[in-house]
Chains A and B, each alone.
Chain A
Amino acid sequence: AQSVTQPDIHITVSEGASLELRCNYSYGATPYLFWYVQSPGQGLQLLLKYFSGDTLVQGIKGFEAEFKRSQSSFNLRKPSVHWSDAAEYFCAVGVVTGTASKLTFGTGTRLQVTL
């Protein structure tokens, strides 16, 4: 069965510092991978997605992620964090079976930004 692991429950970084959030997945086929962000009391906003092709994908708000098949990883990065980036971040793998699909999420990483 597919699964997603986000090993860091909580991360604190200073504003202006770089950020890397880790994500490892387990899936038997070529994965569809996503990163979402959730602010308190809100829904999930799509940051970026990987389907195929270039393993470095660019997203919104200055985020990028790199797909590494050999490590089953899809880590999210940002070169300079802003205070408004404080939120919870979810990595997800899109599971396709026949004509149906669903997302399996990691447990999330809460990002705190200090000024």
Chain B
Amino acid sequence: KAGVTQTPRYLIKTRGQQVTLSCSPISGHRSVSWYQQTPGQGLQFLFEYFSETQRNKGNFPGRFSGRQFSNSRSEMNVSTLELGDSALYLCASSPPVLGGAQYFGPGTRLLVL
């Protein structure tokens, strides 16, 4: 079974721009979660989607948003980029079992200049 895929793998943007990251979950997984990883803050939860609905949201500003499509693929969007948004953005999918393990993709490394 193919793992979680994320595109693009690397991205360079400038302050004020917006960016869209994509995630394709493992086949059969309907829950997709997003995390931000930075050296200073570590791994922080952004949001979780299930059946196209946001079920849970972390403590991030409204510039961070996401959505999920009917095929469970998910996108996250960051508008008005700031230097501090430079990070590794990780997507994870999990099977339809409450509290189930999450399986991570390779991440998208975003650099904001």
Contact = CB atoms under 8 A, between A and B. Distances in A.
Interface of A: 32, 34, 36, 41-46, 49, 51, 90, 94, 96-97, 99-108
Contact of B45 (A36, A43, A103): A103
A34 B101 contact: yes
A46 B45 contact: no
Given A97-B56, A100-B48, A100-B55, A42 B99 contact: no
Contacts of A43: 4, 6, 90, 104-107
B64 interface: no
Contact of B106 (A42, A46, A90, A104): A42
A72 to B, nearest CB: 18
Interface string B1-41: 00010100000000000000000000000010101000000
B42 interface: yes
Interface of B: 4, 6, 31, 33, 35, 42-43, 45, 48, 50, 55-56, 58, 90, 92, 94, 98-107, 109
Contacts, number: 62
Nearest to B54: A100
A97 B55 CA distance: 10
A53 B4 CA distance: 29
B29 to A, nearest CB: 13
Nearest to A108: B42
Nearest to A103: B102
A77 to B, nearest CB: 19
Q: When A and B form their complex, which 6 residue pairs have the shortest distance between CB atoms, in order from nearest?
A: A100-B56, A100-B55, A105-B43, A44-B104, A43-B104, A43-B106
Nearest to B91: A43
Contacts of B103: 46
A102 B42 contact: no
B81 to A, nearest CB: 22
B45 A104 contact: yes
B42 A105 contact: yes
A46 B101 contact: yes
Most chain B C-beta atoms within 10 Å of own C-beta, residue among A34, A44, A49, A107? A44
